[in-house]
Amino acid sequence: MAENIEQTVKTRRVFYIPGYDPIHPRRYRELYRKEGGEQARISDYQIALSPKTGGGNYGWNVAAHIDGVDVETTVEVLVWSDIVRISMSNSILATYGQLVQTAWVYIASGALWRLMQLRKGPVIAALYPVGMLLLQLLIAVLAGKLLYTTLTFFGGPAWFKGIVAALGVGLGWQVLRWFKKHDGKFYAYYLMHDYAFGAATRGANPPALETRMTEFGDAIVQALKSDVDEVLVVGHSSGAHLGVSILADLIRAGRVPAEGPKLAFMSLGQVVPMVSFLRDAHRLRADLRYLSRCVGLTWIDVTAPGDGCAFALCDPVAVSGVAPEDKRWPLVFSAAFTQSLTPARWKALRWRFFRLHFQYLCAFDAPKDYDYFQITAGPHSLAERYAGRPASRSRIVKPVNKFTSTAP
């Protein structure tokens, strides 16, 4: 492993692609600062952050002293949170309309049942907002009905009952508004918008996102022309499939310099099948197939069975049914949450599903061969770090996708 390799990376550019997240990218800087400091304390190395100078994407600089050597890294967040916020601006009624449409897309196409053959965790996570929103609607209806029943218990004229009925409807509406206002605790609207984002176009990228992905690609190309040793693209959650398409576009178009920095891609907690299993995800399936055979790239896919929101150890190319005979990537292995976290810490996090979905970006008590901060700020390239590393034997490679076409 990388411990016996001499330093080959002194400078690095990291491009982080978030998942479906409406929050300002500073949350990722603070997460990196806090968790990186904790991992440095646990693993006995040094890491420090400073503001990124100049214009361009939001980011920060990292100065690390690992394995006795210094490494300088610039991390940039490829922001699409504004697109996410626009997609989340729907009214209460429109969100319930999304619920019906999204459920229909996944159920009628058979995608839901095929996804369940891979991992039940992310499918349950996808069903959660449907169940929670319907429960909220039921509570609202019952609240309105209770008010009507109580106030009309002794009867009354028709005009009085009409007024009470209107009050019941108003109360039910206020209940729904209360749930929406406090969605930070329930995540029902957030998750509904997340799954609806891909389902609305049956897996195709909306024009605004395609435009933004082109801009992301341009930023990566500029880094590939700079004097650094490695350019590392990290895609988390739904950001993983954006990374696949962005890099496939760049390599296919010949925009990756042959003599430039080493190019690497790391997908974390990916949910690729949620999109690639949809009817019109032709572009994503074509990009998965293309990227899986690229020679001038290293692609590592890291998930963990403990993450109930990801398709853990599911090879995104293979399960999507588009693996070519000369497939090289990705190398699929587990971050092994249950082995890398102490029993007490695992117990504390076990049922915090959304927090566990971000554990890939956090410190581990006893990291095995996955350390986010060594990877993004350490002295070894991704290719060298995992050279000779076998894929997890328990990975899922069975193709179960019905829709395997790579062209409309």
The span from the CA of 230 to the CA of 313, in Å, is 26
pLDDT of the residue at 159: 87
pLDDT of the residue at 6: 81
pLDDT of the residue at 84: 96
- How many helices (H) and strands (E) the chain has is answered by 18, 8
Q: Give the number of other Cβ atoms within 10 Å of residue 335's Cβ.
A: 25
Q: Is the pLDDT of residue 323 over 80?
A: yes
The span from the CA of 156 to the CA of 188, in Å, is 39
Count, residues in the chain: 408
Percent of the chain with pLDDT over 90: 88
Scanning 44-186, the segments in alpha helix (DSSP H) are 81-87, 92-108, 111-116, 120-151, 158-181, 183-186
For residue 18, cis peptide bond before it (omega within 30 degrees of 0): no
Q: Which amino acid is at 354?
A: F
Contact 102, 94 (CB under 8 A): no
pLDDT of the residue at 4: 59
Task: Kindly indicate the confidence band of residue 364, based on its pLDDT and cuts at 50, 70 and 90.
Answer: very high
| Residue 331: strand pairing partners | 300
Task: Kindly indicate the confidence band of residue 373, based on its pLDDT and cuts at 50, 70 and 90.
Answer: very high
Report the candidate in 3, 20, 80, 8 with the shortest Cα–Cα distance to residue 298: 8
* Stronger pLDDT, 110 or 154, i.e. the higher one: 110
CA 252 to chain centre: 24
Q: Is the pLDDT of residue 47 over 70?
A: yes
pLDDT of the residue at 3: 55
The model's pLDDT over 280-316, given as tens digits with 9 standing for 90+, comes to 999 999 999 999 999 989 999 999 999 999 999 999 9
The three-state secondary structure class of 372 is helix
The span from the CA of 281 to the CA of 120, in Å, is 22
CA atoms within 13 A on the CB side of 155: 1
The three-state secondary structure class of 47 is strand
Instruction: Go through the domains of the chain in sequence order and give each one's CATH number.
Output: 2-82+210-385 (3.40.50), 90-199 (no CATH)
> What average pLDDT is seen over the chain?
95
Phi-psi category of residue 44: left, alpha or beta, with phi > 0 → left and psi -120 to 50 → alpha: left
The model's pLDDT over 107-129, given as tens digits with 9 standing for 90+, comes to 999 999 999 999 988 998 889 99
Q: Is the pLDDT of residue 76 over 70?
A: yes
The span from the CA of 333 to the CA of 310, in Å, is 13
Q: Give the number of other Cβ atoms within 10 Å of residue 337's Cβ.
A: 21
What is the pTM assigned to this prediction?
A: 0.94
